[in-house]
Amino acid sequence: MRKPAPRSPKPRNPKPRHPAPGKTMPRGEATLREPTPHTPVFGLMAEFSRPETLVDAIASARKAGFRRMDAYSPFPVEGAQQALGFEDNRVPWLTLAGGVFGAALGYGMQVYTNAAYPIDIGGRPLFATPAFMLITFELMVLFAVIFSIGGMLALNRLPRLHHPVFDIEAFHLASSDKFFLVIFGDDPKFDDGATRRFLEGLEPVGVALVRHTEAPE
Amino acid sequence: MSDVAGPSRDRFAAVTEEVTSIPLRYPEPRGWWILFAFALLLLMVFVVSAGALLRYGVGMWGNNIPVNWGLAISNYIWFLGIGHAGTLISAMLLLLGAHWRNALNRFAEAMTLFAVVCAGLYPILHLGRPWLFYWMAPYPSTMTVWPQFKSPLTWDFFAVLTYLTVSVLFWYIGIVPDLAATRDRARTRRQQVFYGLAALGWRGSARHWARWGQAYRLTAAIAVPLVVSVHSEISLLFAAGPIPGWSSTVFPPYFVLGAAFSGFAVVAMIAVVLRHALGLQDLVRERHLDLLGIFLLATGLMTAYGYWAEVFDVLYAGEKQELGTLQDRLVGAYAWSYWGAVVANFVPLQLLWFRSIRVRPLPLFLIALSVTIGMWLERYMLLVTSLYRDWLVSSWAEYHASVWEWGLFAGMLGVFLAPFLLFVRFLPVISSFEIKEVMAEDEEERHA
């Protein structure tokens, strides 16, 4: 796994491969969804055999003015996210919200039930904060994790069992040892021929046109 | 992983193939079936023992006043403790950036899941009327009463429920990318449908990986304190009671460390068996066995310190009842459990000081087995030696587990083994994408 503090790319590589920090895309663009079926095609896909080549390709595409793209890799590739200019911190915020919600629910539940049905045991306090803390903690953890993972899946629009990229023959290698870049068909600069020539200039293993999945008949 | 020869993309493909070929074309079906038949037999023992319990009640068991907890609760603590090591290996070592965890985390987490299921079943079966266990949950009922939230029993309900849910979710989002890899390599229709559904349509998008990484790391960061809280809570079942030998502040850390100790022992045993049975020697290497041995030794010595602190506590305080319990432990009717725990936990353990022992599968397996048994004896000892001599001499009585309790214990091992074997057979047991990620990073470092 990547080392902790993954958001500060290490300067060990002298070649500047990522866009300068702070030069990320505007938020709305970065988190925008994939092309809708109204565009002519889903996009053009280029296949690479090394993670570094993929990151370089993303950087070149961004330099060439493309903005709407995504990369696919068998494992998290260091630098790909930064090269795409993708920045989305909704998952951490959702986790925090889940934690706050769970803690409030846990503590509130114990206060409410003790108030609703008071039982005096040897004159001990009805609202015993130290004793309540354990369940408060457990529910905080429970909801933080459910919000975190549930939020991750929802923001990623998963589960989604079929997807246009799955129609590409070579794409089954995206879970093994190949790295793919797709320039979306709704990119303002997208042009079937020119974009294909651009991608072929990056010396990929191959370039393929990704069509939209047909609607169920 | 850096010292495997060959260009990295071949190695990426080789790792993928090695990991995904196990569920797709299981290499040793005969050995697996023998083990699975054995696990099913144990599972049948469970069904019979639990059925007898449900039919005739806890009178079938040997526990009674004053020892009213017995095997059910000591096994509960033992199973849950074993489970904790899976979370610690997976979550703590992830956060520490210890890459070697990637060869172990998947099956360690699976071990956690099934151990927690076994643990959770025990207190429910011990309730007397197990079918009313949902009374522990706060729900607006016609009885208008609520659970007693100041009781450790209720804390336990929430702790185990949370721990089970978090473990399942953490394990599942960790396995999804490998399920996708298995899906992409599946050849038969049945496999394609099964792995296709299970992988949720994962396609390795960079956006997905980014959010996935956030959720995975955050869950890991939350899971580590969760482990500490869950086992501390269980120790409070003891420590909060006014029983000599229990009411001690050393209990929470003592329990947590003992849990990690027993769990690392079981992880070491599973690692040795799996690497041998599935031929995973190039992924689970000598280095991993070595590190597991070191962890086992370290947590074992910490547990030994707990033993010593417990005795010191009693001697220093000088309370008559506490001294009496200490004497019962050292020379009483259950002294075998105390000395059995001391010997099985700490004597073979000392061999792990030597690297030559740590890297050899068989000695490591035997030492880990000894620790697993030793920790079981410890849980039994803590429970029974404190309870069998109550404050009042008139209520002293010994405890002997009945055949039904032993039957349930054997059956519970089946409850653990059967799903674990299914996991080994049908799911990727090693985290291939994390291994590939580290390979890529190592290579980049070498180039730089």
Does B378 map to a domain? yes
Does B124 map to a domain? yes
Cβ contact B226:B162 at 8 Å: yes
Cβ contact B427:B24 at 8 Å: no
What count of other Cβ atoms lies within 10 Å of the Cβ of residue A118? 9
Q: What is the SS3 string spanning B153-167?
A: HHHHHHHHHHHHHHH
Of the candidates B403, B390, B402, B293, the residue with the CA atom closest to the CA atom of residue B349: B293
What is the tally of helices (H) and strands (E) in chain A? 6, 4
Considering only CB atoms, B206 lies closest to which of A14, A71, A113, namely: A71
Q: What is the CATH number of the domain that holds B70?
A: 1.20.1630.10
Q: Does A101 touch chain B (CB under 8 A)?
A: no
Between CA B415 and CA B42 the distance in angstroms is: 8
* A113·B210 Cβ contact <8 A: no
Considering only CB atoms, A148 lies closest to which of B158, B206, B215, namely: B215
In 3-state terms, what secondary structure has residue B105?
helix
Does B175 map to a domain? yes
* B159·A138 Cβ contact <8 A: yes
Alpha carbon distances (Å) from B391 to B28, B245, B387: 57, 12, 9
Beta bridge partners of A184: A43
Cβ contact B148:A126 at 8 Å: no
Domain that holds residue B361: 8-443
* B201·A159 Cβ contact <8 A: yes
Between CA B374 and CA B136 the distance in angstroms is: 32
Cβ contact A24:A30 at 8 Å: yes
Q: What is the SS3 string spanning A82-144?
A: HHHCCCCCHHHHHHHHHHHHHHHHHHHHHHHHHHHCCCCCCCCCCCCHHHHHHHHHHHHHHHH
For chain B, the helix, strand and coil percentages under 3-state DSSP, each to the nearest 5: 80, 0, 20
How much is the pLDDT for A24? 47
The full DSSP string for B194-260 is HHHHHTTT---BHHHHHHHHHHHHHHHHHHHHHHHHHHHHHHHHHHTS--TTT--TTHHHHHHHHHH
In 3-state terms, what secondary structure has residue A211?
coil
Which residues does chain A have with pLDDT short of 50?
A: 1-29
Q: Which CATH number fits domain A36-88+164-210: 3.30.70, 3.40.50, 3.10.110, 3.30.60?
A: 3.30.70
Q: Does A165 touch chain B (CB under 8 A)?
A: yes
Between CA B152 and CA B227 the distance in angstroms is: 16
Structure tokens at B73: 């609760």
Indicate the pairing of strand A179-184 with strand A43-48. Answer: antiparallel
Using CA of residue B282, residue B284, residue B287, residue B289, what is the dihedral sign?
A: negative
Q: Over the stretch B354-407, which tens digit does the pLDDT of each residue have?
A: 999 999 999 999 999 999 999 999 999 999 999 998 888 888 999 999 999 999
Beta bridge partners of A45: A182, A208
In 3-state terms, what secondary structure has residue B340?
helix
B101 band by pLDDT with thresholds 50, 70 and 90: confident
Q: Distance, in angstroms, between A116 CA and closest chain B CA?
A: 9
What is the reported pTM? 0.90
Nearest CA in chain B to A102: B162
B89 band by pLDDT with thresholds 50, 70 and 90: confident
Does B144 map to a domain? yes
What's the number of domains chain B is made of? 1
Q: Distance, in angstroms, between B340 CA and closest chain A CA?
A: 34
Structure tokens at A161: 């069992």
Averaged pLDDT of chain A: 84
Q: Over the stretch B277-297, which tens digit does the pLDDT of each residue have?
A: 888 888 888 999 999 999 999
Mean pLDDT of B254-267: 94
Between CA B169 and CA B109 the distance in angstroms is: 11
How much is the pLDDT for B224? 92
Q: Work out how many CB contacts closer than 8 A connect A with B.
A: 225
How much is the pLDDT for B116? 95
Q: Does the pLDDT value for residue B442 go beyond 50?
A: yes
Q: What is the ipTM of this complex?
A: 0.91
* B204·A155 Cβ contact <8 A: no
Q: Does A75 touch chain B (CB under 8 A)?
A: yes
Q: Over the stretch B22-34, which tens digit does the pLDDT of each residue have?
A: 999 888 889 999 9
Q: Over the stretch B218-242, which tens digit does the pLDDT of each residue have?
A: 999 999 999 999 999 899 888 888 8
Q: Does A111 touch chain B (CB under 8 A)?
A: no
Considering only CB atoms, B200 lies closest to which of A128, A142, A158, namely: A158
How much is the pLDDT for B432? 92
Peptide bond into B363 cis (omega under 30): no
Mutate: best of B209, B237, B436, B443, partner A, most A CBs <10 A: B209
Task: Name residue, tokens 């190695």.
Answer: B11
Q: Does B364 touch chain A (CB under 8 A)?
A: no
Q: Does B214 touch chain A (CB under 8 A)?
A: yes
* Dihedral, B320, B325, B328, B329 alpha carbons, nearest 10: -140
Q: Over the stretch B281-339, which tens digit does the pLDDT of each residue have?
A: 888 889 999 999 999 999 999 999 999 999 998 999 898 989 999 999 999 999 999 99
Mutate: best of A134, A147, A162, A184, partner B, most B CBs <10 A: A134
- Residues 1-60 of chain A whose Cβ lies under 8 A from any Cβ of chain B: 1-4, 6, 12-14, 49-52
Alpha carbon distances (Å) from B14 to B149, B222, B436: 53, 34, 10
Beta bridge partners of A71: A181
* A135·B8 Cβ contact <8 A: no
How much is the pLDDT for A120? 87
* B215·A151 Cβ contact <8 A: yes
Between CA B216 and CA A213 the distance in angstroms is: 30
Between CA B401 and CA B338 the distance in angstroms is: 17
In 3-state terms, what secondary structure has residue B377?
helix
Q: Does A213 touch chain B (CB under 8 A)?
A: no
Q: Does the pLDDT value for residue B413 go beyond 50?
A: yes
* A139·B158 Cβ contact <8 A: yes
Cβ contact B53:B408 at 8 Å: yes
Mean pLDDT of B177-198: 94
How much is the pLDDT for B9? 57
Q: Over the stretch A12-59, which tens digit does the pLDDT of each residue have?
A: 444 444 444 444 444 444 555 788 877 888 999 999 999 999 999 999
Q: What is the DSSP letter of B91?
A: I
Of the candidates B239, B163, B27, B63, the residue with the CA atom closest to the CA atom of residue A139: B163
Name the residue ranges covered by the structural domains of chain A: 36-88+164-210, 90-155
Structure tokens at B141: 């009922």
What value, to the nearest 5°, has the Cα angle with vertex B284 and ends B202 and A54? 40
